[in-house]
Amino acid sequence: MAAHVEKKSLFTLNKDIPAYPFIILGLILLAIGGIAVLQVLLKGHEAVYGVTREVPWGLLIATYAYFVITSTGLAFIGGLGHAFGYEKYAKMSRRIVVMAFVILLAGFTQIGMEIGHPIRLMIYLILSPNLRAPIVWMGVFYSIELVILAIELYMVFNPDKVSHSASAVVGFFALLVGTVATSNLGYVFGSLNARPFYHGIYFSTFLVISGITAGAAMLMLIHNIVYKGRIPSDLEDSMTALGKLMGLGIGLMIFLYFWKIMSSLYTEPKGAYEAVLAMLKGPLSVNFWIGEVGLAVVLPLLIIVFTKARNMKALGFAGFIYMIGLFFTRFDFIVAGQLPPMRAGYEGSGVHTTISGLAHYSPSAGEWMIFALGWGVFLFLYFAAEKYLNLETEHH
């Protein structure tokens, strides 16, 4: 039962929210992405993308993971609010659900442009699905997640038509399916016989935790943008709670990172060892130390600890640099596992390796343009929602 004192209509024009610059930026990125989409349609994937026989999965898979995992992290936080009564998060539920939905769509643009035959995928996932293949379950879980988020969207914008218990149940399923989807994404990689770096339970766990952390980071960042750094006092507790959640998430990430790296160095498992070395001191080391460790771990954690998660602007900044750093985390995760080649690059082998004996990958301009497409979708849709919808959650 929801009782409202003064109910604002769903559609408004929010003059105070600085959305236009982001909407315009989103449109520019959409245009850039659109050009790449045309190129791919005209010339084919192979001509436009930089992925190779040795490294078949590149930037688009990394960006896909970045977006969809952040979406499930948001759904998780939303679920904590709805299903488990964490009122501090429930106060933000409209923004959470809209953002989770839009980020998921942004992720779908990446996988849609990565897969050679996306339409065929939908047909044969129904006609002849291989139930042993983790990708099938990835399709199933993320589709369910999209539907649940759509239901949640309806619910958060029509609170008077929805009972508390109904939104609790839906919130719980958003949390559950999101967690299953993300951990299954870890399994998509873990199931690759040839790539020992991905094997085991590590990535399934790490992706879920870093995703929830990303959800908190996005919320802190976006609230700071929307309120121009002056967070309303009734949201301050929520922001602090998010900051603490993020600090906890980063703490767990350190724990997981540390043991993953130690165990890969200790016994030198073939494939996994070379992948970890590629991050620690090989071609991915700048990404790793500056992006993953500096921006996604050390700096945001220091900010949160030293401000005790009470300085709102600092939280927004921590969220911002975390999201930049996390991109490197996702990219390195995808690429590192594929750098140890399956065959040595001897003469005649057909395998291209660098002097260090690793395969090489750097994204092409076309791949960066599709990356821009994903951001375009997110910025345009999300800030249009901020501008034209009422995203302030009404108090129950």
Surface-to-core class of residue 227, CB atoms within 10 Å of its CB (0-12 exposed, 13-18 middle, 19+ buried): middle
Based on the shown chain and the rule CB under 8 A, indicate whether residue 357 belongs to the binding site for another protein.
Answer: no
Scanning 38-46, 100-108, 229-237, 322-330 for contacts with another protein by CB under 8 A, the matching segment is: 38-46
Which residue is listed with tokens 């399934």? 204
164, 343, 362, 365: which one contacts another protein (CB under 8 A)?
A: 343
Nearest CA-CA partner of 224 in 303, 315, 300, 299: 315
Does 222 engage in binding with another protein (CB under 8 A)?
no
Specify the residue, 68 or 156, whose C-beta has the smaller distance to another protein: 68
When the beta carbons of 333 and 380 are compared against another protein, the nearer one is 333
CB of 192 to another protein, least distance (A): 4
Least distance between another protein and beta carbon 329 (Å): 19
What is the rounded CA–CA span in Å between residue 383 and residue 385? 5
CA angle, 141 then 147 then 152, to 5°: 120
Residue whose CB is less far from another protein, 141 or 173: 141
389 phi and psi, to 5 degrees? Answer: -115, 160
113 binds another protein (CB under 8 A): no
User: In sequence order, what are the beta bridge partners of 11?
Assistant: 389
- Indicate which single residue of 4, 7, 8, 120 sits in contact with another protein (rule: CB under 8 A): 120
Q: Which stretch binds another protein (CB under 8 A): 121-129, 162-170, 235-243, 282-290?
A: 121-129
In angstroms, the CA 140 to CA 18 distance is 37
Among 21, 85, 118, 232, binds another protein (CB under 8 A): 118
**Is residue 294 part of the contact set for another protein (CB under 8 A)?**
no
- Which range of residues in 158-166, 289-297, 324-332, 341-349 is near another protein by CB under 8 A? 341-349
Determine the straight-line distance between the first and last CA of the chain, rounded to whole angstroms: 8
**Using CA of residue 54, residue 186, residue 356, residue 114, what is the dihedral sign?**
positive
Q: Is 43 exposed, middle or buried (0-12, 13-18, 19+ CB in 10 A)?
A: exposed
Give 200's strand partners: none
Q: Quick one: which segment of 43-51, 241-249, 274-282, 315-323 binds another protein (CB under 8 A)? A: 43-51
310 is an interface residue for another protein by CB under 8 A: no
Compute the distance between CA of residue 32 and CA of residue 369 in angstroms, rounded to an integer: 6
Maximum CA extent, the chain? 77
Q: At its nearest, how many Å lie between another protein and the CB of residue 190?
A: 11
Does 135 engage in binding with another protein (CB under 8 A)? yes
Task: Point out which residues bind another protein (CB under 8 A).
Answer: 44-46, 51-54, 56-57, 114-118, 120-121, 124-125, 128-130, 132-136, 139, 188, 191-195, 270, 338, 341-344, 346-352
